[in-house]
Every structure is written in C-alpha cells, then in structure tokens.
Amino acid sequence: MFSLQTMFGKGDKFYGLLEASSQAARDSAQAVHKLAQSRAESADIAAFSSARRREKELAAQISEELVNTFVTALDREDIEALNSALYKIPKTIEKFAERYAIVTDRLEGIDFTTRTELLTRAAEVVVQMVAELRRGLRIDAVKKQQDRLQALESEADRLLLEPYRTLYANADDPLRAMLAKDLYELLEKAIDKCRDVGNIVYSIVLKNS
C-alpha cells in the first residue's frame, strides 16, 4: 500500500498524539475506578482531574495540528473523528465523577466498582486499538479488539438492568434510586464511548488496508 507517512514523514506526530489521548482516557477511567473504590477520597479526585486536563490539552493540540499540517498519514476527517470520540470518553467520566463526589453519602451500600472496572478494561482496549494504527493497520488484530469492546459493552448493558429490580422494588428512598440510576447510566454511556472509538479505528483500518 502506498504510504504518505513514508514519503512525507508526517504520520508519527498524529499517531503519537492520538496514542497519548487514548492513554489519557484510560487514566481517567482508572482514576474514576479508584474514586468509586475509595468513595470520593480527595487524592483520587486529584488524579482524575489531572488526567482530564491532559486529555483536553491533547484534543486541542490535535485540532491545531490538523489546521497547520498539509499532509497527514490518515485522512483528516478520520483523525478529527477519532480525536472527537476519544475526547468524549473522559468528558463522560467527568460527569460521573462530579456527580458521584456530591451524592456519595446518599448512596451507602450501592457498589459502582464492578462497572468502573468494566470501563477501565474497555479503555485499555481503546489504547491497544489506537496503537494499532501505527503498527500497519492489521485487520485481524483490530477485529479481535473490537470484539472485546463489544463483549464489554454487552456486559455493561446486562449489569445496567440488574440493580434496578432491587432499587425500585425496595424504593424506601426514591431520590436515592434516581441518583443511582443516573450514575449507572453515565458509566454505561462512557463504555459506549469506548465502543465508538473502536468502531472508528476499525473503519479506518478497513478503509486503508
């Protein structure tokens, strides 16, 4: 396959930035998992905030480089779509973390760690898939990773339904049930955002292989 990266040497810049962005998204997922484990300890909030700031800076840098770079190894619209999708992962996680930190005292006995662990695993697959763009666009490897993301999303969907039976059947505190539902759905949405990144990476590989 003809490679603009080889001819012009422009690929590494975007590959590196996209990889760093995926790693920042993973760091956000790991930080929010620790947040759920520790029930809003300040150290975990700080770790989460740091990962979120880094993701914002990388997204802005990628957008700026797209304007200033004439030749790119991947299509501009693909880089832009992937950049936007990666940005939405920590953005969604941020919503969870902010709300969780505010209402955690009302949610005693409700466990979010199983779901945040799923999110962390999904974010790790995202890192691996984005890294594949630099490694030669291998369809088989990317397809296996996409299948893993789909399986994690299906598990998240299943887990989303489980607590509702208990929450609503024993709804002594309707507000508590509503708060828990909102937070569960935000975590499920964050995993969906990971899947969206996987779908974009897979479509890029199909188009360029």
DSSP string, 12-41: HHHHHHHHHHHHHHHHHHHHHHHHHHHTS-
pLDDT of residue 158: 83
Give the pLDDT confidence score for residue 29 in this predicted structure: 94
Whether 3 is covered by a domain: the verdict is: no
Q: Provide the number of structural domains found in the chain.
A: 1
In a domain, 5, yes or no: no
Tens place of pLDDT per residue across the chain (209 aa)? 444 444 344 457 889 999 999 999 999 999 899 888 886 555 456 666 777 788 888 888 888 888 887 677 788 899 999 999 999 999 899 889 888 888 888 888 888 999 999 999 999 999 999 999 988 778 999 999 999 999 998 888 888 776 666 665 565 777 887 888 899 999 999 999 999 999 999 999 998 87
User: What CATH number does the domain containing 171 carry?
Assistant: 1.20.58.220
The answer to whether the CB of 205 falls within 8 A of the CB of 137 is yes
Q: Is 150 part of any domain?
A: yes
Which residues in 62-90 are b (16+ Cβ under 10 Å) and which e? beebbeeeeebbbeeebbebbbebbbbbb
pTM: 0.85
Burial of 112 (0-12, 13-18, 19+ CB in 10 A): buried
| Cα–Cα distance, 86 to 180 (Å, whole number) | 26
- pLDDT for 3 equals 46
Residue 1 lies in a domain: no
Domain assignment present for residue 43? The answer is: yes
Rounded CA-CA distance 197/166 in Å is 33
User: In this structure, is residue 83 part of a structural domain?
Assistant: yes
For residue 105, what are the domain limits? 10-208
Q: Is residue 140 part of a domain?
A: yes
Q: What is the pLDDT of residue 18?
A: 94
* Domain contains 4: no
SS3 assignment, position 152: helix
Number of H-type helices and E-type strands within the chain: 7, 0
